[in-house]
Amino acid sequence: MTEAAVRTEELTKTYWPGRGRAKEVRAVRGIDLEVRRGELFGLIGANGAGKSTMIGMLNTLITPTSGRAWVMGADVAREPMRIKRRCAVVGQHSSMDRELSVAENLEFSGRYTGLRPREARARAAELLERFDLTGRKDALAMHVSGGQLRRMVIARALMRTPELLFLDEPTAGIDPQTRITLWQHLDRLRESGLTMLATTHYLEEAEAICDRVAIIDGGKLIACDTVDALKAAGNTAVTVTFDGPPPVLPGRLLGRPGTVSSQVDGGRLRVITSRPDGLVGELTAAAAQANVSVVDVSTIQSSLQSVYLALTGRVYNAGRRVEI
């Protein structure tokens, strides 16, 4: 079996009182996780859930309190240099040299990692074209837009051709249209075979681009699967409108396997269920027996947002980001 890109066992990080902390903070609490090679894996959760601490431990910037972790087969505690050579990190904040041009920022980064001048220029040119930055290659970093800056940061991280790319809130602070453009670039990177581990508190982002996601809340891993599998485990809202009183009362529906709740509003019946298969057919048959016709049917499947709310009870603000 192919070795996992990332594997953790009971990984824990505790910050002790001091330096502005009145009491100990258990940022990460015994997480077992596995990221497969070639996938775009998302860590989702509220601000302060422990996502950035996880990334910090995996890229060797933060020392775990207990537990173990391996990145590309290397132990994070014992072999940090092996990890640094094979991985790259895109943090939440840019560290670009504002007085250098876009191309110079990439070329100098390549030189720092051992590329010869000609190799660095060729690699930079390749990445500038891949991220649609060729037209801005001579612009100073201080003069590019927020979206262009984010693409620059990712392109610079790829100068060393890493096997694993860590992305900590890669689209934070940029507008929705620019975010979608960046998703497209990340999707192309995945198609090239690059393994990526990204944190995000934008649920629609995780739903759009991630192969699998892990939901972290209060430092604990509470769910991990594909988006489709997580959504399938959630509830579905089925609304059926009749041309008369609904033939099935809520009390009867509550006895149906998977039914969470039901409500009648005039000729409309709304059922929340985890097992929607066959429900509309049953209601249609009951309607025919009662000489009532079905006028309209609508089904709203569970979303990653609804699954997140069910698992954490957190508030989701206007479909944009999760807040504590």
266: Cβ–Cβ under 8 A, 6 or more apart, which residues? none
pLDDT digits (tens, 9 = 90+) for 243-294: 988 887 666 776 788 888 888 888 899 888 888 888 898 888 888 888 899 9
Of residues 89, 29, 24, the one with CA closest to residue 64:
29
pLDDT reading at 179 higher than 90: no
Segments making up each domain of the chain, as ranges: 6-226, 235-301
Give the Cα separation of 190 and 196 in Å (integer). 7
| Least confident window among 10-19, 111-120, 216-225 | 10-19
Residue 179 identity (one-letter amino acid)? R
Task: Identify the CATH number of the domain defined by range 6-226.
Answer: 3.40.50.300
* 235-301 topology per CATH: Alpha-Beta Plaits (3.30.70)
Non-local (6+) Cβ contacts of 310 within 8 A are 234, 235
Q: Is the pLDDT of residue 315 over 60?
A: no
Residue 314: phi, psi to the nearest 5?
-75, 160
pLDDT, tens digit, for every residue of 196-227? 999 988 888 898 899 999 999 999 999 999 99
pLDDT at 2 over 80: no
Give the whole-angstrom CA distance, residue 207 versus residue 228.
9
- Encoded tokens for 290: 């009662």
